Amino acid sequence: MAENGCKHFQVYVKENSLDTYRIIDAYFSACINRDAREKKALNCCCFECGSFGLQIFACLYCIYFGCRGSHITSHLRAKKHSIALELSHGTLYCNSCRDFIYDSRCREIASVNRKLEAKDVQKSLSWTPWIPTPKETNLMLANPRRRHVKANETLGLRGLINLGSTCFMNCIVQALIHTPLLSDYFLSERHECNAKSSLKCLVCEVSRLFQEFYSGLRTPLSLHRLLHLIWNHAKHLAGYEQQDAHEFFIATLDVLHRHCIKAKAETENANKSSSSAQHTNCPTQCNCIIDQIFTGMLQSDVVCQSCKGVSTTIDPFWDISLDLGETAHGGATPKSLIDCLERYTRAEHLGSSAKIKCSTCKSYQESTKQFSLRTLPSVASFHLKRFEHSSLIDKKISTFISFPVEFDMTPFMSDKNNAYGDFRYSLYAVVNHVGTIDAGHYTAYVRHHKDTWVKCDDHIITTATLKQVLDSEGYLLFYHKNILEYE
């Protein structure tokens, strides 16, 4: 990496100067005035499909807009144009290098344009771009070669040794390792540990696991250190009995979340006690990597049937647990993930036995309750409640529930009519349970590359087809936003 971009961009600047970049960034990326915003709203769509998606690229050689993927790259290849500008964040892309590039001159121009935009709409700067430190610049200058991932690449795949009924842990670790933003965070070594010993820090152990997975070695890994740390911080999971994969997933996120909060507090020399955070089983609004990836906001609307007054509460969530059995009102059992979500977000009459005191009526009234998704997480995880526990019998629900490779979450949002953005999600991991409620085994399917799936059965890793994935029973389903898709 150089201060003035790649060699292809240097040739472009020599032939065309930076004037085109300055105009396109001002009018279609930063939008420095009202005229620019009107021009972008009217003209900034993909010339191929007409999409006004979040990631539109502008060719810097000619008048052409194309959305991320084949539409912009096909144009650049056909016209032998190398450089395009990604308009959402104003980043340069070189099609010859197949990578985003950095140029200090363009960054100065972009900085001026964004200050003009902020002044025009009377707001503060919403974000600041990544600018490499001298250390990072020297590191990239010393390592100019970039590794391109091939279709049959096995880097990032490793089996996990079963330590004695620990298949539940192995599956969750495989899903987390293949979570896009989480792998970016740990592989870039963003975690800074302040613990007296990194051997006692769960985040350090997870970071080490990511390094191990991507070390190039193929021998199976042992997770005994991770298991021991989880036992120390989640006592209810201690022991070699078979545990529930969903319970382990939530406990792992909770412990990681608490460790990140504690590390941040120590970094900022905060004197606040963390005792209140050490017993929480739900996320709080913070900026740690766990919340950035997994936390969404669930809206609950309770409507009084007398005065129609609405009481709204908003709570954070890490995953959504979906019932598979019949409802109390005798409704049909769901057949697909979409059915489950529709039932989850459907208004429910609470009945006369569950009256709620209305703040307007000042008395207890019958009401309806409805869930909806206020904000969506980057990674949406769904728990299909296959294990049913009652006073009479415990049983497993083995009903087949179909789930899509990709789907749109807009219909389940609180303000679906005014929702702006791309709310499509892609499947990247599935955890399955085979057997009975008393004796069973967990396996996982994870997407290794865009069109490559593998089955993880403890230390055995085998290739899998998409049909095998979609035909599986499904216990935990992991989806990430389409905008995180790697080409």
Work out the pLDDT band at 459, boundaries 50, 70, 90.
very high
- pLDDT value, residue 281: 45
Q: Is 325 exposed, middle or buried (0-12, 13-18, 19+ CB in 10 A)?
A: middle
> Can you tell me the distance from the alpha carbon of 377 to that of 6, in angstroms, rounded to the nearest whole number?
35
Please pick, among 8, 89, 441, 449, the residue that the annotation labels catalytic.
Answer: 441
The more confidently predicted of residues 151 and 232 is: 232
DSSP, res 4: B
Q: Is 480 a catalytic residue?
A: no
- pLDDT value, residue 194: 64
> Can you tell me the distance from the alpha carbon of 331 to that of 317, in angstroms, rounded to the nearest whole number?
26
pTM of the model: 0.70
Number of H helices, E strands in the chain: 14, 21
> Can you tell me the distance from the alpha carbon of 4 to that of 249, in angstroms, rounded to the nearest whole number?
44
Work out the pLDDT band at 52, boundaries 50, 70, 90.
confident
Q: Does the structure show a pLDDT above 90 at 232? A: no
The more confidently predicted of residues 236 and 25 is: 25
Q: Does the structure show a pLDDT above 90 at 469? A: yes
Average pLDDT of 53-79?
87
- pLDDT value, residue 264: 62
Please pick, among 94, 167, 260, 358, the residue that the annotation labels catalytic.
Answer: 167
- pLDDT value, residue 243: 85
Residue count (the chain): 487
> Can you tell me the distance from the alpha carbon of 317 to that of 431, in angstroms, rounded to the nearest whole number?
20
Contacts of 119 (CB under 8 A, 6+ apart): none
DSSP, res 180: H
Q: Does the structure show a pLDDT above 60 at 197? A: no
pLDDT tens per residue, range 208-220: 999 899 888 889 9
- pLDDT value, residue 259: 80
Average pLDDT of 197-203?
71
Average pLDDT of 346-369?
80
Q: Is the dihedral of CA 199, 203, 206, 208 positive or negative?
A: negative
Lowest mean pLDDT among 61-75, 156-170, 251-265: 251-265
Q: Does the structure show a pLDDT above 80 at 10? A: yes
Contacts of 8 (CB under 8 A, 6+ apart): 82, 83, 94, 96, 97
Lowest mean pLDDT among 127-131, 189-193, 271-275, 339-343: 271-275
| Nearest Cα to Cα of residue 222 among 177, 154, 164 | 164
Contacts of 422 (CB under 8 A, 6+ apart): 53, 54, 481, 482, 483
> Can you tell me the distance from the alpha carbon of 302 to that of 74, in angstroms, rounded to the nearest whole number?
51
Amino acid sitting at position 455: K
- pLDDT value, residue 216: 83
What's the number of CA atoms in the CB half-sphere (13 Å) around residue 60?
29
DSSP, res 241: S
| Nearest Cα to Cα of residue 97 among 3, 4, 5 | 5
* Rounded-to-5 percentages of helix, strand, coil across the chain: 35, 25, 40
Residue with tokens 């974000």: 127
Q: Does the structure show a pLDDT above 80 at 283? A: no
Q: Is 441 a catalytic residue?
A: yes
Q: Does the structure show a pLDDT above 50 at 103? A: yes
pLDDT tens per residue, range 82-96: 999 998 888 899 988
| Nearest Cα to Cα of residue 81 among 90, 92, 385, 89 | 92
8 Å CB contact between 192 and 264: no
Average pLDDT of 235-262?
83
Q: Is 32 exposed, middle or buried (0-12, 13-18, 19+ CB in 10 A)?
A: buried
Average pLDDT of 393-402?
87
Contacts of 451 (CB under 8 A, 6+ apart): 151, 466
Work out the pLDDT band at 267, boundaries 50, 70, 90.
low
> Can you tell me the distance from the alpha carbon of 93 to that of 469, in angstroms, rounded to the nearest whole number?
34
Q: Does the structure show a pLDDT above 80 at 392? A: no
| Nearest Cα to Cα of residue 424 among 79, 51, 22, 49 | 51
The more confidently predicted of residues 376 and 236 is: 376
- pLDDT value, residue 330: 55
